[in-house]
Amino acid sequence: MGTPGRYTSLASMKLATKTGAAALSERAIRDEIERIVSSAAFKPSDRLKHFITFVAGQALQGKADSLKEYAIGVHVFGRETAFDPRTDPVVRVQARRLRARLEKYYKEEGQNDEIVVDLPKGGYAPVFRKREVATPAKPLGATSTQKNTIAVQPIVDMTPTHEAAEFCAGLTRELVRRLTQQRGLKVAAFHTPSQSSASMLVDGSIRRAAEGLRLNVNLINATTGCYECSESMPVESIDSFAVQDQIAETIIERLQPHLAASKVGQSPLTENLTARNLCKQGLYHLEQRTDESLERAAELFERAVIEDAHYALAHSGLSDAYSLLGSYGLRPSTSMVTMAMSSAATAVMLDGESAQTRTSLAHAKARAHWNWTDAELEFQRAVKLDPGYATSHHWYARCCLVPLGRLDEARDEVLLAHALDPVSSIIAREVASIHYYRRDFEAALAHCDQAIELNPHFPHAYFILSLVQEKLGDSEEALAALLRASQLAPKSPRMIASLGRAQAMAGKPDAALRSLAELDELARTRFVSAWERAILFLGLKDTDRCFEQLALAYQDRFFDLTLLGVDPRFDEVRGDRRFEALVQKVGLR
């Protein structure tokens, strides 16, 4: 692999071959970098393209010794000059992603490239080597395409500051939703075998020009590899759901002549546009999963219900918001699950044939009653109503299959949810979480990196990353990940408690006690679940107080207790009779 910083000039970039040492030209190396960043493996990630281009360029200029974590964080990932790699692991996370993506590239598209680019572990200076190219085997036949099947690639944010990332994610979802309404047209889920055999592909990007933002969208014939249609349009605002809807509708209209199906006429779910827009905003805030966004989501759904009391999806969204406020420890769980059940029941009464309302009811049943049989039947009913609704698969995995210990099934369900909604930060995080519960820590680490690449500002991705790093034996990296999570969610009881536990696990009990004091101070002004204190005491090895707090969390019906059977954090106390008694009370035995 070589020592980081060893290759400081082109003269030293050599490879021992059968005939001796062969130097690589700068032009050949730059051409190889261009092939890499233009490949399908790197297409979804502008950050990794920038990363490999930057480090390769520095190495080619003889500046490999300058490729330190701080410099990369500032120049590649736009961190401020106050960037501290000890508390923000963005460069290490993305370096792992880059190594994995390079490996994927050379196994697939680049398997016959004459030059191989590598990023050895332990540093950030790339190594360039030449290899013998094997004669490619004659293909047995091209993969057959599925007629009338279309795949939608995530719309890419190409703006310099990535200001349109959230807008691009929402626009991608809206395009998928509208395409599923085309009669006779199948929409392939992202990163599944059906996507690779789709007969049509939609991709696009948003760029900033002198006159403002501009969206480009292409329709590609997968059989011929030719463009069937290419459209360009201005983007007036990236802060408006109405603009998002208008652009999605315009795209579908312009692509319509080139599609093999006609549009299904579908009446709006409510004629009240105010209620619909409030629900769209509520769903957006629900997806963020921060303390502030969950409170905001509940407020928006409450306003939507007042605006149109007969709108089923408003009651459904309100049920989900109440459930999550309880499960994230922002309000007492006992009161939240009761309110969630009431709203879900109203939603199903108004529209019992909606996958969304049925999913909300299943979700509320799982969280309120811990009745896994009834909850599973409701989830299965929701999935049958709409197999393409990602949230059904996500919550079926997390709220039913995981508590029951059916982790292989849970993994399959959450991977399907991720394929159906590849731009969902919380689903991407959940993929990592379920691999963590399965004790597949290397896979969990890879999925953590993917979740962080998808949304570098999502605190819950760093939270699960810290747990995985801890199990891989790197307590300092675990602590750094939680410090980043705490920076992104500074007043979150979960992050404060988890940071305290990580500090204790890293041999810093005084820091852990300061986190405990911070948690107690926060409890003076807001609700803090006993679960969070239990987690911190667990890290301090104070099992008596840990079980005292777990008993209080049980009285509040805190939903994370349903993870006791699978959560690796509790492995060290599984032999304690109090633990076994609590597991039985929760209904996991």
Q: Determine the pLDDT at residue 13.
A: 37
Same-domain status, 521 and 575: yes
Residues 176 and 122 in one domain: no
pLDDT number for residue 469: 92
Answer yes or no: do 498 and 564 share one domain.
yes
> Three-class SS of residue 237?
coil
Q: Which residues of 529-548 are buried (b: 16+ CB within 10 A; e: fewer)?
A: bbbbbbbbbbbbebbeebbb
154 lies in the same domain as 250? yes
CA distance 366 to 588: 13
Predicted pLDDT at 475: 85
- How many Cα atoms are found within 13 Å in the side-chain-facing hemisphere of 146? 15
Provide the H-helix boundaries in 135-240: 165-179, 193-196
- Picking from 258, 292, 325, the residue at the C-terminal end of a domain is 258
Task: Tell me the C-alpha distance between 278 and 255, whole Å.
Answer: 29
Is 429 domain-assigned?
Answer: no
Q: pLDDT digits over 34-68, tens only?
A: 888 888 888 767 788 889 888 888 888 888 888 88
Query: Could you tell me which residues are beta bridge partners of residue 232?
Result: 216
Are 108 and 164 part of one and the same domain? no
Q: What range does the domain containing 503 cover?
A: 491-589
Identify whether residues 153 and 102 lie together within a single domain: no
What is the predicted pLDDT for the residue at 101?
84
My answer on whether 162 and 110 are in the same domain is no
Q: How far apart are CA 531 and CA 547, in angstroms?
A: 10
| 32, part of any domain | yes
Rounded distance between C-alpha atoms, residue 393 and residue 86, angstroms: 37
- What is the helix (H) or strand (E) element at residue 115, kind and residue range? strand 115-118
199 and 236 in one domain? Answer: yes
Is there a single domain that holds both residue 92 and residue 170? Answer: no
Q: Is residue 35 part of a domain?
A: yes
Q: What whole-number distance in Å separates Cα of residue 265 and Cα of residue 517?
A: 59
In a domain, residue 446? The reply is no
Are 145 and 223 in contact, with CB atoms under 8 Å apart?
yes
Residue 296 lies in a domain: no
Residue 500 lies in a domain: yes
Asked if residue 553 is part of any domain, the answer here is: yes
Q: How far apart are CA 242 and CA 250, in angstroms?
A: 12
What CA–CA distance (Å, rounded) separates 443 from 434? 10
Q: How many domains does the chain have?
A: 3
Q: How far apart are the first and last CA of the chain?
A: 49
What residues does 22 pair with on adjacent strands? 15
Length of the chain: 589
> What pLDDT is attached to residue 160?
83
Strand partners, 235: 213
- Provide the 8-state DSSP code for 188: E
Amino acid at 546: C
Q: Give the end of a domain, one of 216, 238, 258.
A: 258
* Residue 485 belongs to some domain of the structure: no
Contacts of residue 161, Cβ cutoff 8 Å, sequence gap at least 6: 78
Q: Which among 74, 98, 77, 68 has a CA at the least distance from the CA of 4?
A: 68
List, in sequence order, the alpha helices (H) in 289-354.
291-307, 312-327, 333-350
Q: CB-hemisphere CA count at 13 Å for 494? A: 20
Give the amino acid at 234: P
Query: Which pLDDT does position 147 carry in this prediction?
Result: 57
End-of-domain residue from the set 130, 163, 185: 130
pLDDT of residue 517: 96
CA dist., res. 197 & res. 147, Å (int): 9
Given a contact cutoff of 8 angstroms between Cβ atoms, the answer to whether 522 and 557 are in contact is no
Instruction: List the Cα angle 99/102/107 in 5-degree steps.
Output: 125
Shared-domain flag, residues 109 and 198: no
**Could you say which residues of the chain have pLDDT below 50?**
1-22, 133-144, 260-268
Query: Do 118 and 164 have their domain in common?
Result: no
Helices (H), 152-218: 165-179, 193-196
Q: Are residues 22 and 107 in the same domain?
A: yes
